[in-house]
Amino acid sequence: MQTASVPKESAETSAPSREPNKPAIVAEAPRVFAAPMRATKPVKGRLAPGFAAKLNLLADLAWVVVALLGSTLLAGHSLQLANLDFWLLLGVAGLGWVLVGTTLCLYDARFSDRAPLDDLALTSITVVVITGVLYLERLLIAGGMPVVALTFFPLMLWTGVVTLRHLVFRRLAVREEPLDEALILGIGAMGRLTGEHLAEHGRRRVCGYLAFNNEVQGANSPQNVLGKVEQLEEVLARVPVDVVYISGNVQKHATEMQASIKLCERFGVPFALPAHPFRMDRARPEHGHAVADGYLHFVTHAPQPHQMAIKRLFDITSSSAALLALSPLLLTVALLIKITSRGPVLFKQKRVGLHGKPFSMLKFRSMVVNAEELKARLEAMNEQSGPVFKIKNDPRITRVGRFIRKYSIDELPQLLNVLRGEMSVVGPRPPLPNEVAKYAAWQRRRLSVRPGLTCIWQVSGRNQISFEEWMYLDMQYIDHWTLRTDLDLILKTVPVVLTGNGAS
């Protein structure tokens, strides 16, 4: 099947140096977009995003225990509740299910978007792996003795998990609040139908439409039209957008579509192009799941879903373990802050996260209570280039604050942000909203990944390097990310934190 292609421009490299003539910072804030932004009202009865997946995980863990006990009883064995090996097997079964299920993205918040057969395959793999692990463990710790009987375990587990998942939780997930904000380019038939399709499936909320130059708004046009496609940069700079649907006609809108593609690439925003620009009566795509919504989806960096799943699993386990292990230190620091200065122990600061979505970043308070008010008086003393404000001997910092900042102890509460999924252990540091407002378009691409506790900047001198170098280092991380990169950065961060190198 042939499809029309948009004319290509000259190739560019993915490194940030592709913008050699662009200033590192736009000297003024982006022009405010004049079109009104219609607020999206939550639909009554909607559940929180990811709630069905979390509930599904709890139900599956309960069913793992039921299947293990049921299999033992069906095989004619009594339950050895006083046997430590019995509880060890139960624990390994539950922990193994969580680890394997998380690694295979079985409980991803978008699990209901997965094809039923694909979902069935992932569930089957998880059941087989857990059964094999239990057989091996029983052999090692109990010498093969039937502390628990596994004869009926895989069948009972597979039947229960699959039934609950397909009859209950996949249907429950459809009632959840949309996870992503979608911007649609085009107010013609394709753009309107795309918006209706997204609304029906409930996984993405349409935050607005932009019209191509030859499109005129009429009675059948969508209501929340924000302006023209030529204003896309202004909208992306102002509105958090997870994906842009370029619903144009290749023959009529090729130039505008190409410009929109280049802009999305520069911002690091995922985008989708129509998969079928021609009408077909009988032809069907060979692999229908690749164009399930009629669009080909593109991202500006390699998605690597399995590695990303392992990264998220590492974030959860490492942040949980760190919070537990460091709890004496955390309590001591909290007490010292409370005793030595007035004000709250924790400082909540609005930061910009993935795709420009704001969140409250947590830190131990290291400054006086009115630090933000005093900042305006100290602007002239700023020692950092670009929009970032840094002073080596900041007079607003308290005595305890100076110590905890030097050794990055003030950042430890962000482990809670990591646990909640707002941050990752490794990733570009989350910027302030007023800093993002001054970013050039290519610099906003650092918002295309989840922010983190540490990144290349932290191990390269921190406040001793310029803002422009900082941006280049973040782009280098995004373009060449692997799990090994994260591990290397974590290992390099430890001595930097212990020595306080580059901190202020």
Ordered by start, the domain boundaries in the chain are 51-175, 180-281+290-298, 305-499
Longest pairwise C-alpha distance within the chain: 80
- At 470, the pLDDT band (50, 70, 90 cuts) reads confident
pLDDT tens per residue, range 134-156:
888 888 775 656 678 888 999 99
- At 3, the pLDDT band (50, 70, 90 cuts) reads very low
- In whole angstroms, what is the distance from residue 40 CA to residue 57 CA? 30
Task: Say if residues 235 and 183 touch (Cβ distance below 8 Å).
Answer: yes
How does DSSP classify residue 166?
I
Side-chain-side CA neighbours of 243 within 13 Å: the count stands at: 21
CA distances from 170 to 54, 117, 167, 329 (A): 12, 13, 7, 42
pTM over 0.85: no
Nearest partner of 363 among 350, 372, 354, judged by Cα: 350
- In whole angstroms, what is the distance from residue 504 CA to residue 496 CA? 13
Task: Say if residues 452 and 426 touch (Cβ distance below 8 Å).
Answer: yes
Q: How would you label 308-322 residue by residue, b for 16+ Cβ within 10 Å and e otherwise?
A: bbbbbbbbeeebeeb
pLDDT tens per residue, range 97-119:
988 887 777 888 778 877 788 78
Nearest partner of 463 among 368, 382, 397, judged by Cα: 382
Q: What's the average model confidence in pLDDT over 43-62? A: 79
180-281+290-298 is classed CATH 3.50.50.60:
no
- At 2, the pLDDT band (50, 70, 90 cuts) reads very low
Summarize the chain as % helix, strand, coil (round to 5): 50, 10, 40
Mapped onto helix, strand or coil, the DSSP state of residue 227 is strand
430 pLDDT higher than 80: yes
Position 104 scores a pLDDT of 76
Position 495 scores a pLDDT of 84
- In whole angstroms, what is the distance from residue 113 CA to residue 197 CA? 13
| DSSP per residue, 42-82 | PPTTPBPTTHHHHHHHHHHHHHHHHHHHHHHHHTTPPP-TT
254: CB partners within 8 A, 6+ apart: 6, 7
Tokens representing 76 are 């004619």
Neighbours of 105 (CB within 10 A): 20
Task: Say if residues 68 and 133 touch (Cβ distance below 8 Å).
Answer: no
Position 77 scores a pLDDT of 83
pLDDT tens per residue, range 290-348:
677 788 888 887 767 778 878 888 888 888 888 889 999 999 999 999 998 888 899 88
244 pLDDT higher than 90: yes
Task: Say if residues 456 and 489 touch (Cβ distance below 8 Å).
Answer: yes
- In whole angstroms, what is the distance from residue 241 CA to residue 355 CA? 6
Q: Which residue has the tokens 């911007």?
A: 183
**Residue 190 vs residue 503, higher pLDDT:** 190
- In whole angstroms, what is the distance from residue 123 CA to residue 154 CA? 11
Position 296 scores a pLDDT of 86
23 pLDDT higher than 60: no
Position 60 scores a pLDDT of 94
- At 231, the pLDDT band (50, 70, 90 cuts) reads very high
Position 120 scores a pLDDT of 87
CA distances from 172 to 8, 42, 181, 383, 486 (A): 43, 17, 21, 53, 35
Neighbours of 82 (CB within 10 A): 7
21 pLDDT higher than 80: no
Q: What's the average model confidence in pLDDT over 66-76? A: 89
Tokens representing 460 are 């390269």
Side-chain-side CA neighbours of 185 within 13 Å: the count stands at: 34
State residue 7 phi and psi, 5-degree precision.
Answer: -55, 140
Q: CA torsion 60→63→64→69, rounded to 10°? A: 170
Position 11 scores a pLDDT of 36
Tokens representing 334 are 């909290």
**Residue 142 vs residue 95, higher pLDDT:** 95
